[in-house]
Chains A and B, each alone.
Chain A
Amino acid sequence: MGASRTNGSRTNGSRTDGSRTDGSRTNGGFDVDALLADDTVGIVVCCGSGGVGKTTTAAALGVRAAEAGRKVVVLTIDPARRLAQSLGLTVLDNTPRAVTGLDLGQGGRLDAMMLDMKRTFDEVVEAHATPEKAAQILANPFYVAVSSSFAGTQEYMAMEKLGQLRAQADREGTWDLVIVDTPPSRSALDFLDAPKRLGSFLDGRFIRLLAAPAKAGGRAYLKVFSAGVTLATQTLSKVLGGQMLIDVQTFVAALDTMFGGFRERADQTYALLKQHGTAFVVVAAPERDALREASYFLDRLGEEGMPLAGVVVNRIQRVAAPGLTAARAAAAEESLDDAGAGESTTADLLRLHAEVARTAARHAAVVKRFRTGHPGTPVAEVPAASRDIHDVEGLRTIGDALAAG
């Protein structure tokens, strides 16, 4: 990729490798450097639907913020292997480690970690139960299944880890900015919804009923339903095996003491997301469906009162030879063809350019429509690099593009 970085040009937004798809800044642009320089912002959450560049954006923001002097920790989730390697994320031990190869002349730092979902869950249990009780829970087959495979656990644990990192940052002063990536999922909304869903499952009626006999309130409740519950337990025992229900019962009983703790934590982290110090960055691809998905997410953030910093439209096709339209390139290619030079390299270049220009025009059109539909929403456009982004240099390039708006 072209754009090279010179030291000290951190806030220099000029770029040479292509024009913006929308020359105007009607949306006020997305001033990423201002966001990263704002020391009241302590959490940045990168959201978006699957594969759009959440992890890349989170890492790029981390690098840029650290090189601008902030003390940053980035929580990544399932990063691409090569990117993980170049960030030094080779052990999955749930601990942030320093990223090397950065220019930290401004006094910043960058630590990065990969989320280990199961381990995070285990740690919550360990923190809230006596050692014996914790051991009992961790060995429970029902717990093992929920903590390692339940849809939503990853989102829940990402939020939990975010809460932990933020608390550690406040307690120890290690970091002043926590940047979080979100799990790959079809919809960005999953990140907001899944933890609640998990919570309500764990808190679900049937589970409560199973655990209820020990409790007075439960008994009264049970009376009403007792016939039904007995039937249900019997049937499920037949189908699923009695052991499973016993496991569930012991799990719920063991967890009961810390259950309040669980919910409270989830609620606290959720509340954290609404606070002033939090900023959501929504990443999207320059495709109609992806931008529609982003719109839903923006609406949702608005409803929840969660602070949006801006939208990043990632992997936009750029035109390096803007002087020539797709149509004129195609016409020129045709005339070379007529002249018997259809196989020449020049004809190839013209064909390629026509395609590039068409794609760029399509991207520009959907982005423009999105901007029009969301006046007042800051939007940054990041060009598609021709190679994967897998090292610090690549992340800097993305950071430069982000800052250029």
Chain B
Amino acid sequence: MSDTAPAFPGVRLHVVTGKGGTGKTTVAAALAMALARRGQRVLLAEVEGRQGIAQTFDVPPLSTQEVRVLADGSGGEVWGLAVDAKAALLEYLQSFYKLGRAGAVLEKVGAIDFATTIAPGVRDVLLIGKVYEAVGRTTGSKRGRGDLAWDAVVLDAPPTGRIGRFLNVNAEVADVAKVGPIRSQADSITRMLRSPRTAVHAVTLLEEMPVQETVDAIAEIEGLGMPVGAIVVNQVREPLLGEAGLARVAKAAESPRSRGALAKEVTAALGTAGVRTTAALVDGLLAEATDHADRVALEAEQREEIAAAGRPAYDLPWLPDGVEGGGLRVLADHLLEQGMV
């Protein structure tokens, strides 16, 4: 573990978004694990009913109860929670209205379904309201008294295409609730999301569409007045050709003379390495190198786009064997080493 000062010291809520499939769940889990390695008690929450946390930590499906999914030697822990809008609404009605048995009636006439699936914005307010509750939860009997229940909450959030709407609960409920408890809760949630206690991180790959969506999402989140955290570049593959190699391949692609010279050199070197060399083999190797150089160039373009966003960026390597087994730990180590945590 490095001694780099963590980049987001005061942050209590880490929101992790990104284009679908780029690794939001994986990165959220790695981030939670990294925080736990620093001795923190961390709640990792998901809101899309996908059981991604259970899969990533290889534990049984999570219920709406918080369950410990990892204990670190440092005393840090990760607990998982699958936030469910229905359960959140019932809990909410219970705590505000002492609803008791009436909850069952609401369920029966379809009102709970209605409120949690189709009533505009209500679903998101409920989901994020639960996260808000966890961030502020204390061990004392009243909110704000006693110790904080969680050192940090990491949210495996909806993808870039929906993140703005999801976080912008205020606007969402504006048309719905002008007064009342939902309204005032939405106001408190928005205050928290706009405070330095929150950081919204975006996960991307070094590909055109995910980077574009990341850049767009960052602008959107900034526009909402919420603090953008880091860009996590996931599934990074080390270039297999060094600078010099890339330069020679690029030159060979342009000038037949350079190509001839390179082919000759490669043929000779292969010979000394005991490889039976044919012209086709050398052509093939050079073709692979050209393709690779193209990809490296494309990735460099994407790097520039990312840099232009002006946020701290952290790299996570592509794990050929996937994140199962020790993979997640490797990713958490990378975040620690680069000082994201």
Contacts and interface: CB of A to CB of B under 8 A. Distances in A.
B240 interface: yes
Interface in A303-325: 319-324
B120 A146 contact: yes
A223 to B, nearest CB: 13
A323 B266 contact: no
Interface string B76-113: 00000000000000001100110100100110111101
B126 to A, nearest CB: 10
A336 B298 contact: no
A206 B113 contact: yes
Contacts of A149: 120, 165
A386 B295 contact: yes
B20 A231 contact: no
A206 B110 contact: yes
Interface size class of B (residues with CB under 8 A): 35 or more
Contact of B106 (A17, A235, A343, A344): A235
A386 B85 CA distance: 43
Given A50-B20, A81-B212, A332-B275, A204 B284 contact: no
Contact of A204 (B96, B113, B209): B113
Interface string A236-250: 101111011001100
Contacts, number: 211
Interface of A: 2, 17, 49-51, 80-82, 141-142, 144-146, 149-150, 184-186, 201-202, 204-207, 209, 225, 227-229, 231-233, 235-236, 238-241, 243-244, 247-248, 319-324, 328, 332-333, 335-336, 339, 341, 343-353, 355-356, 386-388, 390
A353 B282 CA distance: 11
Given A142-B120, A241-B179, A388-B298, 4 more contacts: A150-B118, A320-B283, A341-B269, A352-B289
26 contacts: A51-B209, A141-B175, A146-B120, A149-B120, A184-B20, A206-B113, A209-B110, A232-B109, A232-B111, A235-B97, A239-B97, A239-B115, A240-B177, A244-B175, A320-B285, A321-B284, A321-B288, A324-B281, A335-B272, A336-B272, A343-B244, A348-B241, A349-B289, A352-B289, A386-B294, A386-B295
A239 B20 contact: no
A398 B279 CA distance: 28
Nearest to B266: A346
A204 B114 contact: yes
B20 A186 contact: yes
Contacts of A225: 108-109
Contacts of A17: 287
Given A235-B97, A244-B177, A207 B21 contact: no
A184 to B, nearest CB: 6
B291 interface: yes
Given A239-B182, A241-B182, A349-B266, A321 B280 contact: yes
B20 A241 contact: no
A345 B244 contact: yes
